[in-house]
Amino acid sequence: MICDLDPRESVGIKEPQLIIPSAHSHWSLTKNMSLFETLSIAALAATSSFGLVACGGNDGGGGSNADAGDLVETHTKYVVDELTIPASTSEAGQVALDLDGDGIGDNALGGLLGALSSTAGLDLQTGVDEQLVAGDFVLLASVKAQDLENANDVGTYIFFGDNPTPAACTDVLDLTTCGKHLDGFGSFDIAANSPSDAVIVGTLASGSLTAGPGSVSIELPLGAAAIQLDLIAAHIDVSVSANGLSSGKLGGAITEADVDSVLMPAVQELIASLIAENCTPAGDDCGCVTGSSGEQVLSFFDTNNDCEIPLAELDENGLIDATIGNPDLDLLDADGNFNPNVDGVDDSLSVAVGFNAVSAVFDIPAGI
């Protein structure tokens, strides 16, 4: 029967390199970090933060996992209480995971954000922490296994959370009163829009869980707007105990189509918000506060000096084309199926984050 419980080491990373591609070339974030140190485009990420939410499937974005739902095991439940965004290329490497089977950790987006954060002194983590303790997003997880030390066909399920008890904050206007739901004894509902099939299957060995490929989603608030990025080839690497998950890594890849249709428009909206916040155009003068994020993004992306950066102008920028505008992994075949390194075409952008979780109480959906 199903019972409800209450309350690995870093891999290498393909280090970033800016390669300004030709019209028909693809990019890779590989070597020579020094090129990033001249970029002031870190302003793009200055107000961004990440949250995790789940989306369906144990097919690895096309992979084949064991059916964890058929196993007779115990669900041990958790809520994420810490989410770590790389603040340097070293930290990006620490949470990188091998998504395409070449033995090298993949985290292109994390590496870029880490480089921008470390070279420009940006504090991306504060926004993440504030949204997490305020309950702006809640990520629930359940590890379904016969034993938390050593087991095969272990299913890690991920759900949206809702209605925490106790409430996240005593005073919603005072962040120091928040995080009450993350004390290891909080109870939650699974949100009405949460998928129930978001599972990644793997193996537990001496309390260390390695699982994947699977499918999950990352909710990425950029300024006031939040976007959902669906990850293929998702992997999890985490230490498991009855009381929590520690030293966790979650990685996956964004398809090129989602980069173009979801990520790029969100970046453009973020840039527009920075310009509106920091600049007051008057004639030929954009009127930006000296040294502000708005001034920095205009200096790099406003090629016609009109104090605006529409999506078309951003998409044509060489720096964007060499970074988030192009993928770093070949995960899909010519038919769009998950089939790594087959057609030689890079079609996905890798990303990985770190996380920890504490015990939680919630009802598991029927059938799993």
Cα four-point dihedral sign 43, 44, 47, 52? negative
Distance of CA 27 to CAs 15, 77, 276, 319, 334, Å?
A: 13, 40, 31, 11, 19
- Comparing CA positions, the residue from 282, 313, 309 lying closest to residue 294 is 309
| Percentage of the residues of the chain whose pLDDT score is greater than 90 | 40
Which of 53-57, 75-79, 314-318, 355-359 has the lowest average pLDDT?
53-57
The top-scoring range by mean pLDDT among 26-30, 66-70, 227-231, 320-324 is 227-231
Average pLDDT over every residue of 197-214: 93
pLDDT given for residue 62 in this prediction: 45
Q: What is the pTM of this model?
A: 0.76
Average pLDDT over every residue of 188-210: 90
Q: Could you tell me the residue ranges of all domains in the chain? A: 4-255+350-359
Question: What is the per-residue DSSP string for 187-239?
Answer: EEEEPTT--S--EEEEEEETTEEEEEEEEEEEEEEETTEEEEEEEEEEEEEEE
pLDDT given for residue 272 in this prediction: 86
pLDDT digits (tens, 9 = 90+) for 17-72: 433 333 333 333 343 343 333 343 333 333 344 455 555 555 556 443 445 545 45
The average confidence (pLDDT) of the chain is 79
pLDDT given for residue 55 in this prediction: 53
Check whether 197 has a pLDDT greater than 90: no
Question: What is the per-residue DSSP string for 52-110?
Answer: EE----SSTTT-----GGGS--EEEEEEEEEEE--SSHHHHHHH-B-SSSSSSBB-HHH
The Cβ-side half-sphere exposure at 176, using a 13 Å CA radius, reads 0
Check whether 100 has a pLDDT greater than 80: yes
204 against 316, higher pLDDT: 204
221 against 209, higher pLDDT: 209
pLDDT band with cut points at 50, 70 and 90 for residue 221: low
